[in-house]
Structure 1
Amino acid sequence: MSATVTDNIAFHSDIRDHEKPWVALQPGFERLGYRFRPRFRQGWAPSWDWSPQDLVSRLEYEDALVLTRVKIMDATRIHDNARVVIKMLFAECRAAEEAAIAEFLGGSDPEFKRPIVPLLEKIVFPSRPDLTFLVFPELVRWDTRPFTFVAEALDFARQAIYALLFMHHNGVAHGDISPGNIMVDGLHFFVNDPHPADLDRTRATFAQDNRLHSYDRPIFPTYYFIDFGFSFAPAPGSVLRVQGAYGTDYSVPEFSGPADERIDPFKADLWSMGRFLLVYVVDAYVGLDMLRPVVNALRQVNPDERMSAADAFQWIDDLIGRMSDAELLAPISHRLDYDLHGVVAEEMNTAIRLRTLGNN
């Protein structure tokens, strides 16, 4: 086995640099009750050592899957075989703030159903005080299974806005409302238990034949917000204003002003929620025009004229209550002519142009 040695640990030559911190700490996680996949355990040797070395052949081996997200590791909780993910936070990147907000919003009180991913455990190893690890249940992206009925899309919008209401009510501005930060408790969507690093493959055999269940009635899974790396929680009674570079949604109109201009992140969240629902749900599907009024109300150019999260939640709740069973059970489908990537690219180009003008 070809290997290099770093910090007195022998790493196989196939282990990438960004995987080494996880491998180095693997025994510590094991002692705490979390088991990594074979590739990320100390002493691992590839299962393809005596097989053809070409790339296509390697892709058929489960332990050939390289960690694609530097800060995220999937694992199994040993005592109950539960699937979890572990997020690595760096001290220099607001680790304390992110961990505190995740713990505050995602408390594990079983009596209270929160729209925030539950925080199962926080871990700091004495050997790496610069790192904090947060353990969460494994979820999948909100759009893993397309909506097939009007009721499903409306329920998603209702839950997403309720999550925003929950955060704002508790004094937290999320700052990064985007497709990658809304998840769903959806492992059961799949016919076979999916592999954590490749949902199209099965966990047990790594066979590339995993499929989604089909449903002839609407289903209503639970959605969760994740990732508080851009979030802020001002002290009670204070008024928070942050610089225009805050967050990741550069379509927010306030971002077109000078870079040092102070903006209200709670108002920016409202725009981002409206933009997210418009681009990824309302415009992406045929049959969801009934949501346009609330989306437009959230996307007012003047921040002070945007509908609040509380009012938006009530609006959708009232809408669902007024609709008949036939309307709610109406089938919907993706727009075949919808160029999502083109829409997002044009949105980004426009934001860059406006930001450039605002700083001249």
Structure 2
Amino acid sequence: MTIHLVVPPHPVLPLVAKAISLLNAPFRGVDVPQNNYSLSVQAMNNAAFDDIGIHSRPDKRSEAEDRWVAFQPYLLSKGYQLRPDTSQIGSRPGRELLSSLCTVKTPIRVLDATRIQDNQQVKLKMIVAYAAGEGANEYALLKHFSESPLKDDPSNHVVPCLDSFPIPGIDAGNFVVMPLLSSYQLIPFYNLAEVHELLKQLFDGLLFLHSNNVAHRDIASTNVMMDARPLFEEPFHPFYQDHSLDAKRLIYPSYSRSEKDVRYYFIDYGYAVWFPDPNAPRTAVGVDAREAAPEQKSGQPYDPFPADVYQLGKMIHDDLFQAVDDLRFLLPLIRGMTEETPTRRLTLEQARDQMNTSFVGLHGWRYRWPLVPRNTRFQDRCWYFFRGLVAEILFLVRCIRRLGLRN
């Protein structure tokens, strides 16, 4: 059957039309009439699922985009509407806009959508299992941790699976529906209290995984996300999350992490290993990780649980310690977590306890004082100092008022 697609003109800004004509462009969904629908991927086998082109032009969708378009009627039947167009970005300085458009790559397996029943923004992920390879445990793990009683455990920081259904024509392939999450670095941390809350949730979440005999094996910046929606008073664009939902203007968070409850999640369990039998050998092989631990690079079987400790310690070092001078006190923790020899490495429980002790030992004012990014100019440091001073005065006033009410 021939697929007849109704493709609207691609609205590319004149400023960058020529620059991106041969480069990557964001996903451009279209409405495909149900009666003209044919799923061209049904003949595709699992091994070739990711062997697909991702490059698009203003006048031509990529193969990955075409696949999502072909799936759209099926997704509609399940209650999910793909985003019509992500190519229009509001006014930015020309150079910044050009850079942002030219570095976008079409997602092969993950795309945002809207849940029709409540107009909720979600993410759709196609999970295809390969024997003893990436994705072998991912679908089962997401389903397992999204069922009672595990889903109700406050220590569960596995990204929730809101819904799932098969990928037509793909053996052991499933669509998984997840919340629309954001990079945990989407907005800067205001003070050490916010950093401490992040680390408490990450350590608790990883301990929860390990206590359920699961090792993640791919802990990295891109696999730690947060639900940033409580920080904004309006929905943000699912791809350009510093823009309004219609992508026409920049938006900013209305609240800090200290003012709202922000929850953090581990995502991407494609390399995770699960040992349902507690008596089975707890070893793994393979080096496929964004930040591989030394034992993962050896090519020999290794214990994946200490490898998780190494990866989390490396992430803390690269993302937090190197960015903020006020986090120097975490250096002993980082060194203990990133020991080259796994047997000399801190256990996850030891690392969690040492992390909490490091923060508890801080003076209260330092815990609340604004974080100053490394290499900040002197005049900006003065502004941070002023903000911190005002915040401390207000804190003292609130304490005095509470004491007065008690008396």
Q: Per the shorter chain, which TM-score range? A: 0.7 to 0.9
* Equivalent position SS for 2:243: strand
Partner of residue 90 from structure 1, selected from 102, 122, 128: 128
User: Residues 166-221 of structure 1, C-alpha deviation per residue, up to 9 Å, x if partnerless?
Assistant: 11111111011111000001023345421102112210x32132223354956551
Determine if the alignment matches structure 1 residue 182 to structure 2 residue 224.
Answer: yes
Q: CA deviation at 1:322?
A: 3.8
Identity of aligned residues (%): 27
Partner of residue 201 from structure 1, selected from 243, 250, 254: 243
Query: What is the rounded CA distance, in whole Å, between the counterparts of 1:216 and 1:264 in structure 2?
Result: 35
Structure 1 residues 87 and 292 mapped into 2: Cα distance closer, same or farther (>3 Å)?
A: same
Query: What is the rounded CA distance, in whole Å, between the counterparts of 2:78 and 2:198 in structure 1?
Result: 35
Partner of residue 229 from structure 1, selected from 270, 274, 280: 270
Query: What is the rounded CA distance, in whole Å, between the counterparts of 1:217 and 1:199 in structure 2?
Result: 20
Query: What is the rounded CA distance, in whole Å, between the counterparts of 2:346 and 2:180 in structure 1?
Result: 33
For residue 352 of structure 1, what is the aligned residue in structure 2? none
Q: 5+ residue gaps in structure 1?
A: 41-45, 48-55, 338-360
The alignment of Structure 1 onto Structure 2 pairs a total of residues equal to 312
User: Residues 89-124 of structure 1, C-alpha deviation per residue, up to 9 Å, x if partnerless?
Assistant: 223354452101122234365633321111111210
Letter in 2 for 1:87: K
* Structure having the higher Rg: 2
For residue 358 of structure 1, what is the aligned residue in structure 2? none
Letter in 2 for 1:98: E
Partner of residue 36 from structure 1, selected from 69, 82, 85: 82
Structure 1 residues 108 and 35 mapped into 2: Cα distance closer, same or farther (>3 Å)?
A: farther
* Equivalent position SS for 2:144: helix
Determine if the alignment matches structure 1 residue 136 to structure 2 residue 182.
Answer: no
Partner of residue 103 from structure 1, selected from 139, 143, 152: 143
Determine if the alignment matches structure 1 residue 264 to structure 2 residue 306.
Answer: no
* Equivalent position SS for 2:279: coil
Query: What is the rounded CA distance, in whole Å, between the counterparts of 1:223 and 1:8 in structure 2?
Result: 36
More strand by share: 1
Query: What is the rounded CA distance, in whole Å, between the counterparts of 1:216 and 1:37 in structure 2?
Result: 28
Letter in 2 for 1:326: W
For residue 355 of structure 2, what is the aligned residue in structure 1? 316
* Equivalent position SS for 1:88: strand
Partner of residue 116 from structure 2, selected from 58, 67, 78: 78
Q: Which has the higher contact order (CA 8 A, sep 6+)?
A: 1
Partner of residue 152 from structure 1, selected from 184, 194, 198: 194
Does the 8 A contact of 2:309 with 2:348 survive in 1? yes
Q: CA deviation at 1:253?
A: 2.3
* Equivalent position SS for 1:85: strand
Query: What is the rounded CA distance, in whole Å, between the counterparts of 1:255 and 1:125 in structure 2?
Result: 32
Query: What is the rounded CA distance, in whole Å, between the counterparts of 2:251 and 2:271 in structure 1?
Result: 35
Structure 1 residues 20 and 130 mapped into 2: Cα distance closer, same or farther (>3 Å)?
A: farther
For residue 64 of structure 2, what is the aligned residue in structure 1? 18
Does the 8 A contact of 1:244 with 1:263 survive in 2? no
For residue 203 of structure 2, what is the aligned residue in structure 1? 161
User: Residues 240-299 of structure 1, C-alpha deviation per residue, up to 9 Å, x if partnerless?
Assistant: 22235243323x222454x3x222111111111111101111121120122222222111
* Equivalent position SS for 2:242: strand
Letter in 2 for 1:73: L
Structure 1 residues 166 and 149 mapped into 2: Cα distance closer, same or farther (>3 Å)?
A: same
For residue 73 of structure 2, what is the aligned residue in structure 1? 27
TM-score calculated relative to the size of structure 1: 0.77
Query: What is the rounded CA distance, in whole Å, between the counterparts of 1:273 and 1:208 in structure 2?
Result: 35
Q: CA deviation at 1:7?
A: 4.9
TM-score calculated relative to the size of structure 2: 0.68
Does the 8 A contact of 2:314 with 2:338 survive in 1? yes
